[in-house]
Structure 1
Amino acid sequence: PQCLVVKFSRIFLILYTLFCSALANNTFGCRDENNNVVDWLIAYKFPDGFSYGLAKPDQPNWYSTNGDLRYDGFLKYTFDQVFNDTNKDFVFGMYNDEVPDKVSKSDVWYGHMKGLLAFPDNDRGFWLIHSVPKLSMKPNQFVYPETSKEYAQHFFCVTLNYSSLETIADHLVISRPLIQSFQLPESIAELIPKLKDAFNHKPEKNASLFLSSSLNATESDLVLRLFTKSRKFHQDLYSDLVAPNLKVPLFAETWRHTASNLPSNCTTEYWVKNIEKLEWPKSMKVKFKSTQDHSKWTVSANEEGDKWTCFGDINRSESQFSRGGGTLCVMDPRIWELFRDIVVEVEGCPISIPWSKLSPSLSLN
Structure 2
Amino acid sequence: MILYTLFCSALANNTFGCRDENNNVVDWLIAYKFPDGFSYGLAKPDQPNWYSTNGDLRYDGFLKYTFDQVFNDTNKDFVFGMYNDEVPDKVSKSDVWYGHMKGLLAFPDNDRGFWLIHSVPKLSMKPNQFVYPETSKEYAQHFFCVTLNYSSLETIADHLVISRPLIQSFQLPESIAELIPKLKDAFNHKPEKNASLFLSSSLNATESDLVLRLFTKSRKFHQDLYSDLVAPNLKVPLFAETWRHTASNLPSNCTTEYWVKNIEKLEWPKSMKVKFKSTQDHSKWTVSANEEGDKWTCFGDINRSESQFSRGGGTLCVMDPRIWELFRDIVVEVEGCPISIPWSKLSPSLSLN
In the TM superposition, what whole-angstrom CA distance separates every residue of 1:218-243 from its partner, at most 9, and x where no partner exists? Answer: 00000000000000000000000000
Aligned 8 A contact 1:241 1:361 in 2: no
Partner secondary structure for residue 351 of structure 2: coil
Match of 2:325 in 1: 337
Specify whether residues 69 and 362 from structure 1 end up closer, same or farther in structure 2 by C-alpha distance, changes over 3 A only: closer
Specify whether residues 270 and 35 from structure 1 end up closer, same or farther in structure 2 by C-alpha distance, changes over 3 A only: same
Alpha-carbon distance, 1:354 to partner:
13
In the TM superposition, what whole-angstrom CA distance separates every residue of 1:312-360 from its partner, at most 9, and x where no partner exists? Answer: 0000000000000000000000000000000000000001269999999
Aligned 8 A contact 1:131 1:154 in 2: yes
Question: In the comparison of the two structures, how many residue pairs are matched?
Answer: 353
Alpha-carbon distance, 1:194 to partner:
0.2
- Taking the aligned partners of 2:207 and 2:32, their CA distance within structure 1 comes to 24
Specify every segment of 5 or more residues in structure 2 that has no aligned partner in the other structure, as ranges. none
Specify whether residues 242 and 199 from structure 1 end up closer, same or farther in structure 2 by C-alpha distance, changes over 3 A only: same
Alpha-carbon distance, 1:361 to partner:
24
- Taking the aligned partners of 1:86 and 1:267, their CA distance within structure 2 comes to 53
Partner secondary structure for residue 261 of structure 1: coil
Moved more, 90-99 or 15-24: 15-24
In the TM superposition, what whole-angstrom CA distance separates every residue of 1:17-41 from its partner, at most 9, and x where no partner exists? Answer: 1111111000000000000000000
Partner secondary structure for residue 147 of structure 2: strand
Specify whether residues 191 and 357 from structure 1 end up closer, same or farther in structure 2 by C-alpha distance, changes over 3 A only: farther
Aligned 8 A contact 1:244 1:361 in 2: no
In the TM superposition, what whole-angstrom CA distance separates every residue of 1:209-260 from its partner, at most 9, and x where no partner exists? Answer: 0000000000000000000000000000000000000000000000000000
Aligned 8 A contact 2:337 2:347 in 1: no
- Taking the aligned partners of 1:244 and 1:318, their CA distance within structure 2 comes to 19
Match of 2:109 in 1: 121
Give the TM-score, by structure 2 length. 0.96
In the TM superposition, what whole-angstrom CA distance separates every residue of 1:77-120 from its partner, at most 9, and x where no partner exists? Answer: 00000000000000000000003313354432000000000000
Specify whether residues 280 and 359 from structure 1 end up closer, same or farther in structure 2 by C-alpha distance, changes over 3 A only: closer
In the TM superposition, what whole-angstrom CA distance separates every residue of 1:167-218 from its partner, at most 9, and x where no partner exists? Answer: 0000000000000000000000000000000000000000000000000000
Aligned 8 A contact 1:296 1:312 in 2: yes
Specify whether residues 363 and 193 from structure 1 end up closer, same or farther in structure 2 by C-alpha distance, changes over 3 A only: farther
Partner secondary structure for residue 256 of structure 2: coil
1:323 aligns with 2:308: no
Specify whether residues 107 and 356 from structure 1 end up closer, same or farther in structure 2 by C-alpha distance, changes over 3 A only: farther
Specify every segment of 5 or more residues in structure 1 that has no aligned partner in the other structure, as ranges. 1-12
- Taking the aligned partners of 1:311 and 1:20, their CA distance within structure 2 comes to 32
Aligned 8 A contact 2:254 2:345 in 1: no
Aligned 8 A contact 2:198 2:215 in 1: yes
Aligned 8 A contact 2:33 2:141 in 1: yes
Aligned 8 A contact 2:334 2:350 in 1: no
Moved more, 92-101 or 228-237: 92-101
Alpha-carbon distance, 1:15 to partner:
1.7
- Taking the aligned partners of 1:102 and 1:318, their CA distance within structure 2 comes to 25
- Taking the aligned partners of 2:303 and 2:328, their CA distance within structure 1 comes to 19
- Taking the aligned partners of 2:34 and 2:350, their CA distance within structure 1 comes to 35
Aligned 8 A contact 1:99 1:105 in 2: no
Q: Look at both structures and tell me which one has the larger radius of gyration over its CA atoms.
A: 1
- Taking the aligned partners of 2:31 and 2:310, their CA distance within structure 1 comes to 28
Aligned 8 A contact 2:334 2:351 in 1: no
Specify whether residues 186 and 357 from structure 1 end up closer, same or farther in structure 2 by C-alpha distance, changes over 3 A only: farther
Match of 2:216 in 1: 228
Specify whether residues 364 and 298 from structure 1 end up closer, same or farther in structure 2 by C-alpha distance, changes over 3 A only: closer
